[in-house]
Structure 1
């Protein structure tokens, strides 16, 4: 089974995942825009097992529907590397850019499209949801 490694800018924090992503998506919500400093977050979901190396600082954010997301970032360089959802085991979402792989699969889903900047074009075939999917 192929593995992929995503790491922070300074290399102190990394996560190794196995297999193909279970999904790749974009989130245009204002919280993700602030969190990333970009106009959207690009995330890839993976099933366990995964291996984290290094130390991470955590930030918990409550989503619009009440879910608690635990974001992990490097305490040295500040890179926001991955997150999990409180109460959900066996899944992790990793920042696509942290893989540093221009050949990474394109997003298939776009959420919070109501907040998407009008100049951002979605990949062909991507399914857009006004907010979170049902």
Structure 2
């Protein structure tokens, strides 16, 4: 079983995961665009039982467009989000793909909020779409 380590920019807050992600997805919602500073968020979902955390984090809870609550855990020193959880799905942890800093990380299989996708963004062939 492989172990991957995600971290913030300064390395103070980390998440170590065992095994492959359950799902890798991209989200085009405006909140993810603001959170990442990019045109979409890319995240990997893991079983909570396979994730270990280290370092000090701060939390921010956001209410989504449809009322769901996400609690983001970020580094208080550099501000980078390292992981988040979703209310009602406590058995999972989502980790931004970029926090792994691994170009060989598996690509997304699912894309959501595509009605807010920038016109020049093209998703990979074969990806599942949810508009």
TM range (shorter): over 0.9
- Structure 2 partner of 1:89: 90
- Structure 2 partner of 1:20: 20
TM-score after normalising by structure 2: 0.95
Displacement of 1:85: 1.1
Runs of 4+ that moved beyond 4 A: none
Displacement of 1:72: 0.7
TM-score after normalising by structure 1: 0.93
For 2:74 and 2:105, the matched residues in 1 are separated by 21
Q: Does 1:104 align with 2:105?
A: yes
Any idea what the Cα deviations from partners look like across 1:52-106, whole Å, max 9, x if unmatched? 1001110001112221100011000010111001243221000001101101111
Displacement of 1:9: 0.6
| TM alignment of 1:37-48, pairs within 5 A | 37-48=37-48
Structure 2: segments with no counterpart, 5+ residues: none
For 2:117 and 2:17, the matched residues in 1 are separated by 29
- Structure 1 partner of 2:115: 114
> What's the Cα RMSD here?
0.9
- Structure 2 partner of 1:33: 33
Aligned residue-pair number: 130
- Structure 2 partner of 1:73: 74
Structure 1: segments with no counterpart, 5+ residues: none
